[in-house]
Structure 1
Amino acid sequence: MRREALYVLTIAIGLLISAKYAQWPVDIWCIGVFSYIYWKTDRKERIEMIAVLAFATPMELFFSEVWLIYEYQRGLMPLFVPVGHYFLFDLGRRVAKQIPERSPMILILILV
């Protein structure tokens, strides 16, 4: 399965399971997927993965626990949230590579 599909399915199904049933299966699945990718990829991507976690985790905690911008359904931040940030980062990067170079400009002109 391509990683893009894995990320989309993980996020969509994971959020549904977490909201309706339980959070722990989503935590285990997301951390497992993240770990598998970490051990199978090259050094550059590993550094990116750790950098995203190092930046996203404290910011997520700060915005939810200090600034109280939002709150989680079961209290503290779920364990799948930091690795989910990496999934979104990598998904965005992979999708951006597939977009033709001129298409964002066309979209901007249409919206303006």
Structure 2
Amino acid sequence: MLSPEEIVAGQLAAYNARDLERFLGFYVEDVPVATFPAGEVLEDRSGPLFRRRYQELFDSYPALHAKLVTRVVHGRIVIDHELVTGIGAGESRAAVAMYEVGKEKIERVWFVV
């Protein structure tokens, strides 16, 4: 069985490889994705739309890459600070994601906004 940190690291590696099936395999089927701290569920990124959202992202940005800057692990919660590149000409964005990891998969995600 993988640790929460290994599960989150695996999904990041799959994201960077733009391997949709492997990426999705790290998440529960109806994963809720919300903002932090408001907790607003991002309907375009949760549940059944999760697959479509990331398929479009991977297809649209062949140079997409998220570099891990910092990772904090506290029990089942993993917080990643990443630098995302490959979205637009020379653009980069900082991203912070918090993952709640169950026994085998990521069960909930929050993006800090």
Q: What TM-score, normalized by structure 2, do the two folds share?
A: 0.29
Q: What TM-score, normalized by structure 1, do the two folds share?
A: 0.29
**Greater radius of gyration (CA):** 1
